[in-house]
Structure 1
């Protein structure tokens, strides 16, 4: 089963390994970075598994939310490639 998820996080001081967290998310499936710490992810992994895998590379005081979604609306900031994002969304 495929899941459409939003993954959001706050990396607190000290540490703040943004590249490490971003890479962990991107290894889980096709993704799109909407904002600095907000990703859309299309994955075969359950939300709980995504949470475990991403949380494993974070510091103990960082914050993480993995949210399963069925639909979303976004503004047209910086002209996001909506066709590419929609193609990820509808993958099996």
Structure 2
């Protein structure tokens, strides 16, 4: 399994938020950190995940996919932080 962080900017015109978010959620177990930042545990590599999500984006949109080994976070409710830590340990 791969620990992936995905961040995106959807540029006007188009801005297919629902389509992009649905694609990200299809990658595997996911957690939404911020409006355009997701953590996903996926069987796909960063490149494969990038290509999959990019398929529903406009050519002027931006997407970054980073494979992570560890992370430090704050501002996350305790129950959600525990869920996130469990995801990392399962990888």
What's the TM-score once normalised by structure 1's chain length? Answer: 0.92
* Matched residue, 2:8: 9
Unaligned runs of 5+ in 2: none
* Matched residue, 1:51: 50
Deviations 1:38-78 (A, max 9, x none): 0001001011100000000100100000001111111124x
After TM superposition, the runs of 4+ consecutive aligned structure 1 residues lying more than 2 A away are none
* Matched residue, 1:35: 34
- Following the alignment from structure 2 to structure 1, what is the Cα–Cα distance between the partners of residues 60 and 75? 33
- Following the alignment from structure 1 to structure 2, what is the Cα–Cα distance between the partners of residues 84 and 69? 17
- Aligned CA-pair RMSD: 1.1
* Matched residue, 1:20: 19
* Matched residue, 1:72: 71
The structure that is helix-richer by fraction is 2
- The alpha carbon displacement at 1:91 in A equals 2.0
Segment of structure 1 superposing worse, 9-18 or 68-77:
68-77
> Helix, strand or coil: the match of 2:28?
coil
